Amino acid sequence: MNLRRMAGAVLRKWWMIISMTLVGGLAGMAMTYFSPPVYDAEVTLYSMDLSKLQEEGAQLEYYDIELSREVLEQFSNVIYSRRVISVVQEQLSVYDLSEEEILSMVDIESSIDANIFYITARSGDPVISANVANAMAEQFAVTIHELLNTDNVGILDEAAVPEKPEPKNTTAMAFLGIVAGFAFGFSAVYLLEYFNPKVYSKEDLSEGFGLRILGTIPKYATDEGEDKA
């Protein structure tokens, strides 16, 4: 199919593309509006040698800070280990959460300019989010202590029960729906035109049947105002 025929198909069926685009945008907004609320609970942890800070006149050297960051980078994946997850699952057995569900709820993120990192739990229940985040942070610190025999990792701020759910990104979902609707509408027009046997121009005839066009009969207007070939 040549570009001229495709452009003609788009002009003839523009309403289909516009309709699909609007439907996609409305569907994206509806999905966001009716989606269940999600609550994030966050625990703040530190990674530094506090024993040095407790000594009179002692200060943390740049080496100590970098070493704490390297330890955090190397052992951050410990939080996703069964050694941590299984203990948390047992502690929160009242919620009947599987290991896979706990893993899907939890995320860890470190700060670039400080030896601070965050463990976040996300779920549809604010109490569960807070309890999972606190349990994961506590067990993570315990596991690091057992592996490295150090108390450099600890909890700075425990997670509080979130009062409000995370804001829904209605604009982004509506935009994605519009893009998907436009793509679907354009694809539908293309397929309808591709399988359409009608011939609209001499180019369609020559391309479709491989025939050489010797001439064409132009349309002319009659006295009654009707076009005839």
83-135: per-residue pLDDT in tens?
A: 899 999 999 999 999 999 999 999 888 765 567 888 999 999 999 999 999 99
Poorest-pLDDT segment among 18-32, 102-116, 188-202, 203-217: 203-217
| Three-state SS annotation for 95-128 | HCCCHHHHHHHEEEEECCCCCEEEEEEEECCHHH
Helices 170-194/3-12 angle, 10° precision: 120
pTM of the model: 0.64
| Three-state SS annotation for the chain | CCHHHHHHHHHHCHHHHHHHHHHHHHHHHHHHHHCCCCEEEEEEEEECCHHHHHCCCCCCCHHHHHHHHHHHHHHHHHHHCHHHHHHHHHHCHHHCCCHHHHHHHEEEEECCCCCEEEEEEEECCHHHHHHHHHHHHHHHHHHHHHHHCCCCEEEEECCCCCCCCCCCCHHHHHHHHHHHHHHHHHHHHHHHHHCCCCCCCHHHHHHHHCCCCCCCCCCEECCCCCEEC
- The confidence band for 215, taking pLDDT boundaries of 50, 70 and 90, is low
Burial class (CB in 10 A: 0-12, 13-18, 19+), 9: buried
Instruction: Find where tokens 């993570």 sit.
Output: 140
Whether the Cβ atoms of residue 134 and residue 117 lie closer than 8 Å to each other: no
- What percentage of residues in the chain have a pLDDT greater than 70? 70
100-103-104-107 Cα dihedral, nearest 10 degrees: 180
Which domains can be identified in the chain, with CATH numbers?
Answer: 3-33+169-202 (no CATH), 37-157 (3.30.70.1130)
Please write the tens of the pLDDT for every residue from 63-94. 455 555 666 666 778 888 888 999 999 999 99
157, pLDDT greater than 60? yes
- The confidence band for 206, taking pLDDT boundaries of 50, 70 and 90, is low
